[in-house]
Structure 1
Amino acid sequence: MYAWRGYTGTHRVEEHPHRVTLFATERGETVGTVTLGFDSAEGLQADADFKDVIDAYRMQGGRVCEITKLAIAPKANSRKTLASLCHVMFIYGHTKHRCTDVFIEVNPRHRRYYETMLGFRCLGEQRINKRVNAPGYLLWTSMDHVAQQIAELGGTGMRAGGERSLYPHFLSPSEADELAERLLNLKQTP
């Protein structure tokens, strides 16, 4: 998907001790992927372009993470697939890794979508993302905001009365608790 859009760089999913990659499938076929990166001594990938901005959150005691390599297949139910991937990312980031702040670098044409549909806020001016040689904005949201939206809207789907966000398509709080328990009890393979 990234190469098709003309972005440079490698977009392969590779093992990394501070990242988890999630795949969404429908009928055995991958229809979405996303990687969630956790802060470490080497930092986040977004530090290459926005370290000064992200450091401000670190200095305030924030535990930061980032969303990268998000791609949804054109034939997928994009709203449902993205909501599912985002909800599992939230569980991993907030519940398992205790992250407080999540960042994503987005192309200018996608900025409003993430602001409207997930409550991200733009942090500053557009910069060139050196990894893909394309313009991008750094967006941020707090994990507390995500938790609040899930508590209010999760599992309501179309019943949310015209709510323009992905949160109604997230799992209900009880379903999310059950999934979190299952995910957090998975044994890590060496």
Structure 2
Amino acid sequence: MYAWRGYAGTHRVEEHPHRVTLFATERGETVGTVTLGFDSAEGLLADADFKDVIDGYRMQGGRVCEITKLAIAPGANSRQTLASLCHVMFIYSHTKHRCTDVFIEVNPRHRRYYETMLGFQCLGEQRINKRVNAPSFLLWTSMDHVAEQIAKLGGTASPTSTVRSLYPHFLPPADAASLTDRLLNKTK
């Protein structure tokens, strides 16, 4: 998907000790992927363009992580696929790794979507993402905000809902607790 949009760089999923890549599947076919990066001595990928901003969260004691390489296949239920990937990312990063802050670099045309649908906030001016040679904004949200939205809205999606948020498509609390238990027991 990234190459198709004309972004530079390599877009392969590679093994890395501080990153995990999640795949969403429907009927055995991959319909979405995303990589979750955890802070380490080498930092986050977003540090290449926004280290000054992210360091402010580190200095306040934040445990930072980032979302990268997000792609949804054409024809997939993009809202449900993204909600599923985001919910698993939240569980994995917040519950297993105790992350407090999550960042994502987005192309300007996607900025409003993440602000509206997931409650991300833009941190400053547009910069050039050197990895893909394209304009980007750095967005941030706290894991506390994500947890609050899941508790309030998770599992409440309906065809008649007028809520402009992805959180109703997250799992309801009981299902989320079961998934959390499975993920934590499987990854210990």
Q: Residue 32 of structure 1 aligns with which residue? A: 32
**C-alpha distance 94-64 of structure 1, shift in aligned 2 (>3 A):** same
Contact kept, 8 Å, 1:32 with 1:73, in 2: the verdict is yes
The separation in 2 between residues aligned to 1:160 and 1:66, in whole angstroms, is 33
Q: Residue 89 of structure 2 aligns with which residue? A: 89
Is there any run of 5+ residues in structure 2 with no aligned partner, and where? none
Q: Which deviations, in whole Å up to 9, do the C-alpha atoms of 1:7-60 show, x marking residues without a partner?
A: 000000000000010000011000000000000000000000000000000000
Matches within 5 A, 1:22-171: 22-158=22-158, 161-171=161-171
Is there any run of 5+ residues in structure 1 with no aligned partner, and where? none
The separation in 2 between residues aligned to 1:187 and 1:98, in whole angstroms, is 14
What amino acid sits opposite 1:119 in the alignment? G
TM-score, normalised via structure 2 length:
0.98
- SS of residue paired to 2:113: helix
TM-score, normalised via structure 1 length:
0.97
Give how far 1:174 is off.
1.1
What amino acid sits opposite 2:167 in the alignment? Y
Q: Which runs of 4+ in 1 moved over 4 A?
A: none
State the identity as a percent.
85
Q: Which deviations, in whole Å up to 9, do the C-alpha atoms of 1:69-111 show, x marking residues without a partner?
A: 0000011000000000000000001000000000000000000
Q: Residue 12 of structure 1 aligns with which residue? A: 12
Q: Which deviations, in whole Å up to 9, do the C-alpha atoms of 1:130-187 show, x marking residues without a partner?
A: 0000000000000000000000000011178311000000001111111000000014
**C-alpha distance 187-90 of structure 1, shift in aligned 2 (>3 A):** closer
- SS of residue paired to 1:146: helix
**C-alpha distance 121-187 of structure 1, shift in aligned 2 (>3 A):** closer
Contact kept, 8 Å, 1:7 with 1:133, in 2: the verdict is yes
Q: Provide the aligned length of Structure 1 versus Structure 2.
A: 188
Q: Residue 176 of structure 2 aligns with which residue? A: 176
The separation in 1 between residues aligned to 2:79 and 2:85, in whole angstroms, is 10
